[in-house]
Chain A
């Protein structure tokens, strides 16, 4: 789930009407609104322009709103038998996709709201059911060591397997698939759209891609067939087996590490910390590129001890080269009573992580701050110059610093 203020999906009412794919949305809202027709190429082109022009990548391509479905919708095309579940007596099932391991009665759904037990068989309801799509700079995910300066075709389906009180995108993450507008976008079409629009990667983001695991894996395979990479933006709340398999299909995984305390995970996230830490170790052990985002929420996870504990753990378990982004909180959803994170707090977090020996510590949601850029850990020169999500220069060649030849870890491409 994204925690980036600027990655919040605007409501449909706020989106320019001529960006809406009428031929797709029309099938889902029962003709409630008459939208101008626009072919895919047209709407993507139109949608991409404001995203890229603003340099921050924020315009909606198609965006949901909690809705009443006035007409019957053929939902069967979104429904596929889920993976990673066990059948139990009396038509119950046990989902083993994420550490929650919901035991679900017939006709009921799991915590995520996106998977349903139908007569003892478990189904995902969100395969190819895209509720939000943007063409974003890859820095917005954020990935700072993955193809800098490129774009990612970013998608989400409805649902999430946690319930963070500060979620920026709760209107799509904390709802059921049928409660938001969605379009049918099967993997091959998604991959083709990404390629046609010059995107280096497909990004699975905004909500929680673990809950649309099957679609993500199928899309990653389809993307690779088109020469398009796949990057995952996740809370990392996933069991080991599906995570290991996921690592065989995608190219990079960014993990939102919400805090470094079980208490926070229990009270604010409605989850547990340990499985996320275990997942990070698994990702690293599989040779997968990973970056970590830590959303700093005033008074809740902003203590020196927590920052230090996090930094020590990352260095010891993952190594000093894993980038850590300390990101600024903005009041949203159920945490509107707290102020935005003071810049000084973020700088304190960075100072502590730097002092513990992490090589790449960034600050997020503070456009123009020097800590948005990448510096060579050896010669300390700026090797990627960023302002917001705009990359102004890159001084990395064949994975090495152009100034001192220091190897810079990441996924840089040719």
Chain B
């Protein structure tokens, strides 16, 4: 995990100084409407920030680090309703002492969470006061992380980067609904909070895989839960206590959107969307993400997910009275474009 970007640090310092002019906690109320997982009183509305930058690529496919940072800053500022990015990042840094970053690297380079994005998040969190060693980038397998360009690291004054195959799984079987699983130790024992960094992708079985389904990478037996288009399994898995209580923020990597053929990387159906989807509500994020995929599929002449008998009904299930993980109704989601 490299983090040597002087330009971005300088710019961040400027924002930080600006942030000091505001009293702590000056963010506006928007942040409080996040989908509070499993609580008895879900929010009336949720917010999803859609941030795009057509110039985010410095080359044909390479992402420009400074622009990624800028996009990220604008997204968080908009999500939390703050007047400065530094204040927003302080809010993020306050999520927990040790913060996990759950990426999605199953598809290797091309359809995985970009390393540039993860490095940007790590950099900003460090600047906001989180020690590097208190950041853990994780996914199911170390080999998946490596295939997506990450370097495994367990020690030193750098963010940790490691797969569940190294840290293992908690011995306590956890169950909710139709799911019974062991949850990875990274989540149960090492992290106080998790920032979810999924990818915006079509999924050949579950319809889409975005924020909710990314936590299949936290359990030991995800292969058991793709039945019935993942419904209710995706929602049930998210209800497992460590996932439900520790996943606080969702930053969806939508620089490339796999709108057909997912979850594998198939370049002919990879769309350079050049953006991020950010929310505290995983259900709302999935709902908006699904809409983006559906619209692109329609534009490209593909049938809807429903017509292909893989409508991701688990999104609505995640919002039902038994789960209350967030809001699925697009009419109750404020989409903020920045």
Contact = CB atoms under 8 A, between A and B. Distances in A.
A113 interface: yes
Contacts of A176: 220-221, 223
Contacts of B264: 90-91, 105-108
B272 interface: no
B94 interface: no
A341 interface: no
Interface string A146-178: 000000000000000001010000000011101
B173 interface: yes
A90 B180 contact: no
A378 B85 CA distance: 88
A163 B226 CA distance: 13
Contacts of B185: 68
Contacts of A108: 106, 263-264
B170 to A, nearest CB: 9
Interface in B204-229: 204-205, 220-221, 223-224, 226-227
Interface stretch (B1-9, B161-169, B314-322): B161-169
A66 B175 contact: no
A270 B180 CA distance: 13
A210 to B, nearest CB: 15
The contact size tier of chain A is 20 to 34
Given A66-B168, A66-B182, A334-B180, A105 B220 contact: no
Interface in B63-110: 106-108
A281 interface: no
A300 interface: no
B223 A66 contact: no
A111 interface: yes
Contacts of A70: 166
Given A68-B166, A69-B165, A105 B224 contact: no
B223 A112 contact: yes
A142 to B, nearest CB: 27
Contacts of B220: 66, 175-176, 179
B169 A66 contact: yes
Contacts of A113: 221, 223-224
A107 B166 contact: no
A69 B166 contact: yes
Contacts of B168: 66-68
Among the interface residues B171, B175, B264, which one has the most CB atoms of the partner chain A within 10 A?
B264
Nearest to B221: A174
Contacts of B182: 66
B336 interface: no
A109 interface: yes
A270 B225 CA distance: 10
A92 B166 contact: no
Contacts of A107: 106-108, 264
Contact of B227 (A106, A110, A270): A270
Contacts of B205: 103
A333 interface: yes
Contact of A111 (B106, B175, B180, B223): B223
A68 B221 contact: no
A270 B169 contact: no
Nearest to B262: A105
A179 B222 CA distance: 13
A147 B165 CA distance: 42
A178 B261 contact: no
A112 B223 CA distance: 7
B22 interface: no
A68 B186 CA distance: 11
Interface in A81-130: 90-92, 103, 105-113
A345 to B, nearest CB: 25
Contact of B261 (A66, A90, A110): A90
Nearest to A162: B224
Interface in B152-179: 165-169, 171, 173, 175
B178 to A, nearest CB: 9
Contact of B226 (A66, A92, A111, A178): A111
Nearest to B108: A107
Nearest to B181: A174
Given A113-B221, A334-B175, A68 B165 contact: yes
A90 B266 contact: yes
Contacts of A165: 180
Interface string B237-275: 000000000000000000000000111101000000000
B180 A333 contact: yes
Contact of B224 (A66, A103, A163): A163
Nearest to A334: B180
Contacts of A92: 204
Given A90-B266, A333-B180, 17 more contacts: A66-B168, A66-B171, A69-B165, A92-B204, A103-B204, A103-B205, A106-B264, A107-B108, A108-B106, A108-B263, A108-B264, A112-B223, A113-B221, A113-B223, A176-B220, A179-B165, A179-B169
19 contacts: A66-B171, A68-B167, A68-B185, A69-B166, A90-B264, A91-B264, A92-B204, A105-B263, A105-B264, A109-B223, A110-B223, A111-B223, A111-B226, A163-B224, A174-B224, A176-B221, A176-B223, A179-B165, A270-B227
9 closest A-B pairs (Cβ-Cβ)? A68-B168, A113-B223, A106-B264, A105-B264, A334-B180, A163-B224, A109-B223, A69-B165, A66-B169
